[in-house]
Structure 1
Amino acid sequence: MSITRREALSVGAGTALLLPGAAMATTASPPPTWRRGLDNQRIADLGDGRFLNPIVSGDRPDPAILKDGADYYMTFSSFDSYPGLVIWHSRDLVNWRPMGPALTRNIGSVWAVSLEKHDGRFFLYIPTKSDPNSIWVIHADRIEGPWSDPIDLHLPNHIDPCHAVGEDGSRWLFLSGGDRIRLAADGLSTVGAVEHVYDPWRYPSDWVVEGFSPEGPKIVRHGGWFYLITAVGGTAGPPTGHMVIAARSRSIHGPWENCPANPLVRTKDETERWWSRGHASLIEGPAGDWWAVYHGYENGFWTLGRQTLLDPVEWTTDGWFRMTGGDLSLPLPKPRGGRAGPSGLALTDRFDTLAMGSKWSFFRPGPNETARARVGGNQLSLKAAGTAPSDSSPLMLIAGDPAYRFECDISIDPGTTAGLILFYDDRLYCGLGFDADRFVMHQYGIERGRPANPHGRAMRLRVTNDRHIVTFDTSGDGGRSWTRFDRGMEVSGYHHNVRGGFLMLRPGLYSAGKGTARFGNFTFRAL
């Protein structure tokens, strides 16, 4: 049986992508597929009472979820992208739409946060990798904001805070490594010192993992127990490393009893659809059923980052719980009782408004970075900065499909260089830019060829990323005719296990040198 490259990379029931050097196995049954939504992007809701993971595609790691009446809110680690911590909304746990960013000031690389509501106020506890590392808190009276300025809690040696309220009303932050610290009654400062309260369960010594790394604690109270859910095994690295474990206690103060069925979630084989599954939260569904939200890498697509997954939960007669969705490769029944709403976000942009945060974000911006960008006349004007994508703080999107195409009209001032890129970080990216006289090719995070540019200071550029095979096309007549640029690329290695940083390969645009670049009629389409 022969299969095409695209079929081989569409991993699902009946098709398996193995790691390099392994054999490809197929059966006659077709893989499940997604419905298509805005810009032909895949959406989880299949429209027949079922859904197919991911519920939020692309780089949406470390999901922090909150139930507030009939509404669900979720946000994700935003790392070096600002505005960051975009709040997403759902009524059924499957269909999600972004509302807007909660964090606008650059306080460092934002890791796994805790999103909570306490006494009518919303809180975000934010760990950052910065100089020095710390944990911050912001708050708002309404989930839409405005959110307060960040307050530094001065906790330099921990990540992944989780807000919890004890049976006595005390407020706590549970931290990585099995530690915790008490919060003041208003939740805006700490009381006392960090204390160690829990020794996480350890997996067998011969398992293939990235490292022990107990992190991502999440606390939920149910049926007279506090459940402490933790990630161990490392976040990336081998697909079989990351996993979910649980412990419980009658009191927020312990002692904690490890679940006898640990681990509750783990990728066991590299042929599974989702790799490195972990960092879970439990959440009650609209009809009182229970679900787990966690992240995972899509088989063969580390470049897409960690995507958000939904797994049904069953409570057992002994007071524990288990996940019942298997490897999440097949469609599952949707949560009962929820009201489906709009799903996803259109990435095509006519630039009638500047959708900062919800759509576009700067990479590692300076204090006044947003002043570089403005819209008018259905164009985005982006003032030049730096000399290349590496130091110009490009504007980026999150694309959640394995294959897509994006294109844009670009015009530049004398002295400006601008273009379209696929950007992992400031040392690993690719793309095509131009100045008035020459193209500039970006590859491996460096600037390479400088062939002549026949179009001058205005052209339309197109980038196609077809499952890691990248091609560029240029047009001097607004897209009526195209010329293939004579340099294609393969980018499957542009990801965390090569470069570190826990990021994803993002479509973006940049403006460097002097003057201003103007971008218009930006279109995106998943393939």
Structure 2
Amino acid sequence: MKRIITLLIIVLGCYHSADAQGYKNPVISGFHPDPSVCRVGDDYYLVTSSFEYFPGVPVFHSKDLINWTKIGHCLTRPSQLKLAKCAPSAGIYAPTIRYHEGRFYMVTTNVSGGGNFYVHTDNPAGEWSEPVFVEQGGIDPTLYFEEGKSYFISNGKGITISEIDIKTGKKLTEGKIVWNGTGGRYPESPHLYKKDGWYYLLISEGGTEYGHKMTIARSRSIYGPYDPNPSNPILTHINENAQSNPIQGTGHGDFVQAHDGSWWVVFLGFRPQSLLHHVLGRETFLAPLRWDVNAWPVINGNGTVDIDMNVPTLPLKPVRPPDYSTNFDENKLGVNWNYLRNPFMENYSLTEKKGSLRLKASQVSLDEHDSPTFVGRRQEHINFSATTLLSLNEAKEDDRAGMTAYYSPQAHYDIFLEKSKNGKYKVSLNYKMGVLNHVAQEVEIPGDRVYLQVKGDRDFYSFYYSVDGKEFKFLDKINVWYLSSETNGGFTGVLIGLYAQSKNKNTKAYGDFDEFIYKPAL
């Protein structure tokens, strides 16, 4: 009888959630900036920037614009994505996803080499084509299709439009500058829509920081002239009415009309935490859009958004909760894991020890603009814990394996297992902050196997270790500020990573990671 009652509660709960209204922002948390969205029937697909991480351009799927599942990446092969020695926050900039005549297109820029290009596929969860390059400068490109023609739009000295051959990427017309925005710095991220006979050109201005905003103009001709909305900006948190909002830096958005006729916008923003620093990176947010006939679009009534969005939504389609943890018994790493730049795959194995991820130590360190032996997943919550169990094998002095809270080569906190001069093993904690490389703690342990743990909250990262997985001993804590974009610049966010490195030229050391447990905390 209890089992029947429990089943009824679950069923009723599902019906209740399907009818629920309202949602929480961000809809995709952690370092997922520059979102672009398209609809096919009642399916929605979204992509975000990936910068120096491989594979590139994560792809998400949703049925309601609120509950998203990561289904893969657009750029999964080195031939598509060359990132060798690229600088931090270089690589892949803002992508756009569009659907045309049965085919998906993702267009983006590799600022570290190659420039603007697009790839295509019939299955966004599968493999995408080799790149098709377009010789038009600028960044943040988008595609627009109309009456058998294909248009390529990017920003350089101004928002520039040209017609291209979609099969080859060859320009059929010279690029024409059609708008420079409203005077804000860095007019970028153009997207073009047609409604009621008007071409609407949406861009962002102000830089992707606290002064970010979205502005819009329209024209009866695709090549302009474009007249700006008298009520620009249509989205910003720079004004007094949002000065205390927990979401800041809103901008760089993309419109989509839902299958019920309603309009929505996805866009980036960030959540400041300690002394207005943010470490999660720019995240993906959602807001409703009112767009009457022949009218200018209005975002959420007044151009601001909230964490708790009490608005009518599409019928909610809950998805399976994300699996943040793994015991590494799969054949390949899941879609949440990323490498730094193009990885040297011979340093990674899920088969040499079943149920473990083996990372072979490399002389490339986390401090370099190169590809260390590293895999990481985005920190998606301000409050969280991450724990791993590892052993260090065939190690000599200066061999190490461990876990890192990583922002860039100049900003990362590392807790690791290494071998001492006396042949014993020790847990060490090191802070890399610009030119400062500080050893915070060193503790000898009785063996080559240890649990390492990092906990994050609004103000601190705290580090622990355990030899039995039950009693965790505190090592030290440090402010989150030194891993923030405000301190370091850049456009990414913190990843929690596993790594192995060595100063020994002929090292044979490797770390076996038997589990990785990531838990959001209240």
User: Would you say same fold, with TM above 0.5?
Assistant: yes
Out of 426, 435, 442, the position equivalent to 2:430 is 442
- 1:389 to 1:315, Cα distance in 2 relative to 1, 3 A: same
- 1:187 to 1:328, Cα distance in 2 relative to 1, 3 A: farther
Number of residues paired by the alignment?
Answer: 466
> Deviating runs (4+, > 6 A) in structure 1?
none
What displacement does 1:185 show? 3.9
Matched AA of 1:420: M
- Residues 243-272 of structure 1 deviation map (CA, whole Å, 9 limit, x = unaligned): 000011222222211111100011124311
What displacement does 1:356 show? 3.9
The aligned residue for residue 445 of structure 2 is 454
Distance in 2, matches of 1:363 and 1:517, equals 18
Contact 1:90 1:341 (C-alpha < 8 Å) held by counterparts = no
Distance in 1, matches of 2:221 and 2:512, equals 59
- Residues 140-176 of structure 1 deviation map (CA, whole Å, 9 limit, x = unaligned): 1222222112233344x4100010124x432111111
Alignment pair present for 1:320 and 2:296 = yes
Matched AA of 2:152: L
Distance in 1, matches of 2:289 and 2:168, equals 30
* More displaced stretch, 241-250 vs 451-460: 451-460
The aligned residue for residue 23 of structure 1 is none
- Residues 177-207 of structure 1 deviation map (CA, whole Å, 9 limit, x = unaligned): 311232114263333433312231225xxxx
Contact 2:109 2:139 (C-alpha < 8 Å) held by counterparts = yes
Distance in 2, matches of 1:298 and 1:449, equals 28
Matched AA of 1:457: D
Distance in 2, matches of 1:343 and 1:243, equals 33
Alignment pair present for 1:497 and 2:486 = yes
The 5 Å alignment of 1:96-111 reads 96-104=68-76, 105=78, 106-108=81-83, 109-111=91-93
- 1:383 to 1:154, Cα distance in 2 relative to 1, 3 A: farther
Identity %: 24
The aligned residue for residue 382 of structure 2 is 402
- 1:199 to 1:451, Cα distance in 2 relative to 1, 3 A: closer
Distance in 2, matches of 1:349 and 1:122, equals 31
Unaligned stretches of 5+ residues in structure 2: 1-16, 84-90, 420-424
Matched AA of 1:492: W
The 5 Å alignment of 1:287-326 reads 287-300=260-273, 302-316=278-292, 318-324=294-300, 326=302
The 5 Å alignment of 1:166-181 reads 166=146, 168-176=147-155, 177-181=158-162
What displacement does 1:359 show? 1.1
Out of 405, 411, 423, the position equivalent to 2:406 is 423
Contact 1:46 1:52 (C-alpha < 8 Å) held by counterparts = no
Contact 2:280 2:379 (C-alpha < 8 Å) held by counterparts = yes
- Residues 301-340 of structure 1 deviation map (CA, whole Å, 9 limit, x = unaligned): 5211111111111124652110126532253346544451
Distance in 1, matches of 2:331 and 2:217, equals 45
Contact 1:287 1:338 (C-alpha < 8 Å) held by counterparts = no
Alignment pair present for 1:259 and 2:259 = no
Contact 1:245 1:263 (C-alpha < 8 Å) held by counterparts = yes
RMSD of aligned C-alpha atoms? 2.2
Q: Secondary structure at the match of 1:346?
A: coil
* More displaced stretch, 220-229 vs 89-98: 220-229
The aligned residue for residue 10 of structure 2 is none
Distance in 1, matches of 2:57 and 2:200, equals 26
- 1:447 to 1:149, Cα distance in 2 relative to 1, 3 A: farther
The aligned residue for residue 519 of structure 2 is 525
- Residues 350-389 of structure 1 deviation map (CA, whole Å, 9 limit, x = unaligned): 11225546111011234x3375242552211112122533
Contact 1:77 1:85 (C-alpha < 8 Å) held by counterparts = yes
Contact 1:181 1:194 (C-alpha < 8 Å) held by counterparts = yes
Out of 356, 360, 363, the position equivalent to 2:340 is 363
Alignment pair present for 1:151 and 2:124 = no
- 1:171 to 1:344, Cα distance in 2 relative to 1, 3 A: farther
Alignment pair present for 1:247 and 2:217 = yes
Q: Secondary structure at the match of 1:453?
A: strand
The TM-score, its normalising length taken from structure 2, stands at 0.84
The aligned residue for residue 9 of structure 2 is none
The 5 Å alignment of 1:107-118 reads 107-108=82-83, 109-118=91-100
Contact 2:19 2:315 (C-alpha < 8 Å) held by counterparts = no
Out of 165, 170, 174, the position equivalent to 1:193 is 174
Distance in 2, matches of 1:403 and 1:140, equals 37
Matched AA of 2:466: S
The aligned residue for residue 120 of structure 1 is 102
Contact 1:434 1:453 (C-alpha < 8 Å) held by counterparts = no
Contact 1:95 1:343 (C-alpha < 8 Å) held by counterparts = no
Q: Secondary structure at the match of 1:190?
A: coil
Contact 1:287 1:336 (C-alpha < 8 Å) held by counterparts = no
Matched AA of 1:50: G
Matched AA of 1:314: R
Contact 2:21 2:313 (C-alpha < 8 Å) held by counterparts = no
The TM-score, its normalising length taken from structure 1, stands at 0.83
Contact 1:96 1:343 (C-alpha < 8 Å) held by counterparts = no
The aligned residue for residue 252 of structure 2 is 279
Alignment pair present for 1:350 and 2:350 = no
Q: Secondary structure at the match of 1:488?
A: strand
Contact 1:458 1:476 (C-alpha < 8 Å) held by counterparts = yes
The aligned residue for residue 40 of structure 1 is none
Matched AA of 1:144: A
The aligned residue for residue 209 of structure 1 is none
Contact 1:316 1:322 (C-alpha < 8 Å) held by counterparts = no
- 1:443 to 1:371, Cα distance in 2 relative to 1, 3 A: closer
- 1:127 to 1:142, Cα distance in 2 relative to 1, 3 A: same
Alignment pair present for 1:331 and 2:301 = no
Out of 360, 381, 386, the position equivalent to 1:383 is 360
The aligned residue for residue 217 of structure 1 is 190
Unaligned stretches of 5+ residues in structure 1: 1-44, 204-211
Matched AA of 2:195: H
Distance in 2, matches of 1:112 and 1:350, equals 33
- Residues 393-437 of structure 1 deviation map (CA, whole Å, 9 limit, x = unaligned): 421111221110010111111133111110001121112112133
